[in-house]
Structure 1
Amino acid sequence: MSVPTLGPETWLLAAMAALCIGLAKGGFGGLGMVAVLLMAQVLPARESTGAILPMLITADIFAVKAYHQHADRKLVLRLLWPALAGIVCGWLLMPHIPAHVFGRVIGWLTLGLIVLVLLQKYGGNMLKFAAEHPGVAWPFGWLAGITTMLANAAGPVMTIYLLACKLPKMEFVGTAAWFFLTVNLVKVPFSTSLGLINGSSLTLNLILAPLVIGGVFAGRWLIRKVNQQVFEWLMILFSLAGAIRLILK
């Protein structure tokens, strides 16, 4: 496996993306969107979705190890089937999106997900029905599947649904950890078939793995030290700036 040829500034962006992935799985979920946007600056947007996937799985494994006993497995199964359908839809759609516009696709998806995050913050009881009607899991699961296949960007979708289900904090984290580990493992053969995971991308993953793992532990420690509201707003603003840059690039 050859080491990817990247400049110093690009390596710095890749390292920041890896750290953001670990921090996101360690408790700062908003950094997931930032990681996606950073990797889209390191590699062509389409290839970046495959390069980031093994790093997500690495972080998911540590998150499951930490929180597995708190997961609501029935809820995971309820979401999993529509998510699988969404992954297949994303896999079929991805080859038909021209490479030169794929960065814009990620940018627009991110903007849409930022809107969903704001809706979750200020929508009051608008999404409470999600907890009362299990059938609502299907559109949320499908949307999570297609966005994670196209851009590894299902975090905000799942955050909104799980918050609407009124899960206690630990069950929220454990359920999300199991869901994302399962879904990301399912995505591996699809991404490989599209050539998005290869020897060069796996070498990059190995080099950045310590930052991913360190980020998970740092996130678990920092979550008790940092004002969550201020941090989330910073992540929204960073994501907004990155999305606009991808759209206009």
Structure 2
Amino acid sequence: MIDLPAYAWPLLALGAVIVGVSKTALPGSATLAVAVFAALLPARTSTAALLVLLIVGDALALALYRRHADWRSLWRLAPAVAVGIAVGALFLARADDVLVRRGIGAVLILLVVVTLVLRRTRVRAPGGRAALVGYGALGGFTTMVANAGGPVMSLYFLAARFDVRSFLGTAAWFFAIVNVAKLPIVVGLGLLTAPVLWLDLLLVPAVLAGGLLGRVIAGRMTQRFFDGAVLLLTAVTALWLLAGPS
């Protein structure tokens, strides 16, 4: 097992609960779990540990919302996301990590502002090819360089005016595919060790509990509250990337 102080366990469990809630009710909140894990575990270890828990959360989200996905949107996003991931991998090898994180935070703030302006003025958010390519490429890029693809894609789904169930179903399939695609890379880098797997095994019940809690929350949310929560959590993520640790 990974040697951790006693206070770390309840905080990691809270992070795991947040993962579950993010998958079944509040997309974007998973970045809060990223912050918790990064603060308590070595950076490389936290990346591997959290990826496994995210995949568990993805499986739970698929069990609940798999029938509500907009597959047309997913297929149309795929090429741009793949390009974004490839560019992100190349950029990550050369760019300074702090600058990348700050840049992504600034982009997220800009996207939140644009989304709010469009909704306030009752103008339908852009849904054409330009928006599709822009959001898809940015989502793939931010996923690769900072594990921050969730908020970007949440803003795209929000701009597309999906209802709560369509939003959650489409997001569930999107992130399940992306996270599973990352798994061989993590394994190849030797990050998915036996201690990491034991840690994840102990935290899986917390992810499941969070997922069930999110299911209850989602069933009681209005569309207006859901949209506001997504924007708020995206803004929090952006501020964390701007001011958080490198």
What TM-score, normalized by structure 2, do the two folds share?
0.82
- Cα deviations by residue, 1:135-191 (Å, 9 ceiling, x for unpaired): 431221121112122232212111111122222332221111111111111111223
Root-mean-square deviation (Å): 3.0
Q: Supply the AA of the counterpart residue of 1:130.
A: P
- Which residue is equivalent to 1:182? 177
Taking a change above 3 Å as real, the CA distance of residues 210 and 106 of structure 1, as seen in their structure-2 partners, is: farther
- Which residue is equivalent to 1:90? 88
- Which residue is equivalent to 1:220? 215
What TM-score, normalized by structure 1, do the two folds share?
0.82
Q: Is the 8 A contact 1:62 1:216 kept in 2?
A: yes
- Cα deviations by residue, 1:202-245 (Å, 9 ceiling, x for unpaired): 22211111111110110111234578478668746764664465
- Which residue is equivalent to 2:5? 7
- Count of matched residue pairs: 242
Q: Find the aligned partners of 1:235 and 1:167 in 2 and give their Cα distance.
A: 18
After TM superposition, the structure 1 = structure 2 runs for residues 138-217 of structure 1, keeping only pairs within 5 Å, are 138-217=133-212
Taking a change above 3 Å as real, the CA distance of residues 11 and 237 of structure 1, as seen in their structure-2 partners, is: farther
Q: Find the aligned partners of 2:5 and 2:95 in 1 and give their Cα distance.
A: 28
- Which residue is equivalent to 2:64? 66
Q: Supply the AA of the counterpart residue of 2:89.
A: W
Q: Supply the AA of the counterpart residue of 2:185.
A: F
- Which residue is equivalent to 1:130? 126
Q: Find the aligned partners of 1:97 and 1:208 in 2 and give their Cα distance.
A: 33
Taking a change above 3 Å as real, the CA distance of residues 83 and 237 of structure 1, as seen in their structure-2 partners, is: closer
Q: Supply the AA of the counterpart residue of 1:49.
A: T
Gaps of at least 5 residues in structure 1 are: none
Q: Is the 8 A contact 2:105 2:239 kept in 1?
A: no
- Shift in Å, 1:25: 0.8
More moved, 106-115 vs 20-29: 106-115
Q: Supply the AA of the counterpart residue of 1:50.
A: A
More moved, 235-244 vs 27-36: 235-244
- Which residue is equivalent to 2:244? 246
Q: Find the aligned partners of 2:156 and 2:165 in 1 and give their Cα distance.
A: 15
